[in-house]
Amino acid sequence: MKTIIEPFKIKVVEPIRMTTRSERDAILREAAYNVFLIHARDVLIDLLTDSGTGAMSSEQWSGVMRADESYAGAESFYRFKDRLTQITGFKHVLPTHQGRASERLLFELIGGRDKVVPNNAHFDTTRANVEHSGARAVDLPIAEAGDPRNRHPFKGNMDIDALERLIREVGPESVPAVFVTVTNNSGGGQPVSLENLRAVRRVCDRYRRPMFLDACRFAENAWFIKMRELGQRDRDVRAIVREMFDLADGATISAKKDGIVNIGGVLLLRDEELFHRASNLLILTEGYVTYGGLAGRDLEAMAQGFEEVLHEDYLAYRIRSTAYLGEKLLAAGIQIVEPPGGHAIYVDARAFCPHIPAEQYPGQAVVCGLYRVGGIRAVEIGSVMFGGPGRPPPKMELVRLAIPRRVYTQSHIDYVVEACLELHSERRSLRGLRIIEEPPVLRHFTARFEEL
Ligand SMILES: *Cc1c(COP(=O)(O)O)cnc(C)c1O
């Protein structure tokens, strides 16, 4: 089989500013060892997130110029809405400025004190919005998800028995919705199978609970289903996507992922009454229902992005290029969450630096090391992100290398591999950290650290 090449040519380029290791040492100290506080111009390869960092296509940029900026009833809104209805089957489509705005609207309406929201694994903003409403966010991943070495093909699956136990324990009326995150971002970018989605649906039907998708990476998830699930290989990826959405009563989507845009989100609802209440709330805080806090050009870019993300040559390249990074690290003896995820590779920081205990944030130490060695910006997904006063310690200490869509080439990724290997060879010199300042919620964004 030949190399799966980037299925695009490059028309516009953006220079990368080179830095030296000693410059990066000073920059890191200045940023209090939190890479969120580093200026992007000081980063060589930015793998902080795949969110809003993708490269738009010439067709998307054409849409930006073509856009209708009318306050109400813009053509761009109808193109956006029709595209989403065509892909997902949902008739009620609300644009929002990003995923967390969809979450905030929804949980303000269905959350609240004494409510419990199960999920295979809540993403950080989803958990924060559930908790902000007063509700409790419960993660119910399958047991295999907690073992980085386990190569279960659908490690994003929800533990169906645990879901049923939870619903019985707290009472169905306390569960306003059952969420499934596709793919599972917090647990390694791992997919959820159709079989598992159908099983969640059956439990929801049994207890008459609505099922929602956190569908940020619905296309990547569908590709994994096509490649890995029995009897799915010959199906059109669009048919798989449609079946995923047909199972759900609603979905929150950040278009900054599989919408391949720099800003945008979607809230999909089946229930007429909930849709009207969400529309009123949208108007109150985001904007009128035909723009939802976005410009017409953003709606155009989303309409086209949601189409391009379903092209099978794109998905084959996307999933292969992520696996390429993962396989190179594994071959060099760096433990990652196996098998490689869709949008990111998650390095097992506990295995990388066993000499640093969880209280000294081994993931953050690796993040700092990668920046020093290669100017690479990654993100900690472990005790910094999920720990803190009153929270249980997370199962894994991970460092996420997220791959922006259509931005970096294979040689950029080869450079990332080289930097990871260099850091791995000097890993015993990595030092733990201490938090010296932190906000009450989502502390990883702004916390300040000190090296021990
Ligand atoms: C990014 C993301 C969100 C939040 O979306 P934003 O656009 O960043 O607000 C929610 N859930 C998952 C799984 C995500 O990856």
Ligand 1 and 364: CB distance under 6 A: no
Contacts of 352 (CB under 8 A, 6+ apart): 334, 335, 362, 366, 399, 424, 427
Nearest to 183 by CA among 311, 322, 291: 322
pLDDT on residue 343:
97
Rounded to the nearest whole angstrom, what is the distance from the C-alpha of residue 47 to the centroid of ligand 1?
Answer: 16
Ligand 1 and 181: CB distance under 6 A: yes
DSSP 8-state symbol, 323: H
Residue 376: strand pairing partners: 45
φ, ψ of residue 287 to 5 degrees: the values are 155, 175
Would you call the peptide bond into 183 cis, given omega within 30 degrees of 0 as the criterion?
yes
What's the start-to-end Cα distance of the chain, in Å? 49
Model confidence pLDDT, tens digit, residues 10-69: 999 999 999 999 999 999 999 999 999 999 999 999 999 999 999 999 999 999 999 999
If you take atom 3 of ligand 1, which residue's CA is the nearest one? 99
Q: What confidence tier does 185 reach under pLDDT thresholds 50, 70, 90?
A: confident
Rounded to the nearest whole angstrom, what is the distance from the C-alpha of residue 32 to the centroid of ligand 1?
Answer: 25
Is 137 within 8 Å of 126 (Cβ atoms)?
yes
In the chain, the largest separation of any two C-alpha atoms, in whole Å, equals 61
Residue 429: exposure state from Cβ atoms within 10 A (0-12, 13-18, ≥19): exposed
Is 362 within 8 Å of 432 (Cβ atoms)?
yes
Q: What confidence tier does 187 reach under pLDDT thresholds 50, 70, 90?
A: confident
**Choice from 49, 100, 106, 442 to test ligand 1 binding pocket (greatest atom count within 8 A of CB):** 100
Q: What confidence tier does 179 reach under pLDDT thresholds 50, 70, 90?
A: very high
pLDDT on residue 378:
98
pLDDT on residue 439:
86
Question: DSSP letters along 131-168, please?
Answer: HHTT-EEEE-B-GGGG-TT---TTTT-B-HHHHHHHHH
pLDDT on residue 389:
79
Q: What token pair was written down for 90?
A: 């949902």
- As a whole number of angstroms, the distance between CA 443 and CA 278 comes to 29
Residue 395: exposure state from Cβ atoms within 10 A (0-12, 13-18, ≥19): middle
- As a whole number of angstroms, the distance between CA 417 and CA 383 comes to 25
Determine the average pLDDT of the residues in 145-165. Answer: 96
- As a whole number of angstroms, the distance between CA 231 and CA 438 comes to 49
**Choice from 125, 126, 190 to test ligand 1 binding pocket (greatest atom count within 8 A of CB):** 125
Q: How many CB atoms lie within 10 A of CB 335?
A: 16
Ligand 1 and 129: CB distance under 6 A: no
- As a whole number of angstroms, the distance between CA 324 and CA 319 comes to 9
The helix (H) or strand (E) run that includes residue 236 is: none
**Tokens 């516009």 identify what position?**
12
Ligand 1 and 119: CB distance under 6 A: no
Model confidence pLDDT, tens digit, residues 316-341: 999 999 999 999 999 999 999 999 99
Minimum mean pLDDT range among 81-95, 233-247, 374-388: 374-388
**Average per-residue pLDDT in the chain?**
96
Q: What confidence tier does 442 reach under pLDDT thresholds 50, 70, 90?
A: confident
Nearest to 262 by CA among 448, 431, 129, 406: 406
DSSP 8-state symbol, 434: E
Minimum mean pLDDT range among 103-107, 186-190, 332-336, 421-425: 186-190
Q: How many CB atoms lie within 10 A of CB 5?
A: 12
- As a whole number of angstroms, the distance between CA 118 and CA 103 comes to 14
Minimum mean pLDDT range among 164-173, 177-186, 219-228: 177-186
CA distances from 417 to 28, 70, 97, 318, 410 (A): 21, 47, 34, 17, 11
pLDDT on residue 281:
97
Percent of the chain residues topping a pLDDT of 70:
100
Domains of the chain: 21-50+311-451 (3.90.1150.10), 59-308 (3.40.640.10)
φ, ψ of residue 251 to 5 degrees: the values are -155, 145
Nearest to 365 by CA among 446, 443, 451: 451
Ligand 1 and 53: CB distance under 6 A: no
- As a whole number of angstroms, the distance between CA 51 and CA 259 comes to 10
Model confidence pLDDT, tens digit, residues 366-424: 999 999 999 999 999 999 988 887 888 888 899 999 999 999 999 999 999 999 999 99
pLDDT on residue 451:
94
Rounded to the nearest whole angstrom, what is the distance from the C-alpha of residue 170 to the centroid of ligand 1?
Answer: 27
Ligand 1 and 49: CB distance under 6 A: no
pLDDT on residue 2:
86
Q: What token pair was written down for 440?
A: 């009450």
pLDDT on residue 124:
86
Q: What confidence tier does 273 reach under pLDDT thresholds 50, 70, 90?
A: very high
**260 φψ region: left (φ > 0), alpha (ψ -120 to 50), beta (else):** left
CA distances from 54 to 135, 301, 305 (A): 33, 12, 10
Is the torsion defined by CA of 251, 127, 179, 108 positive or negative? negative
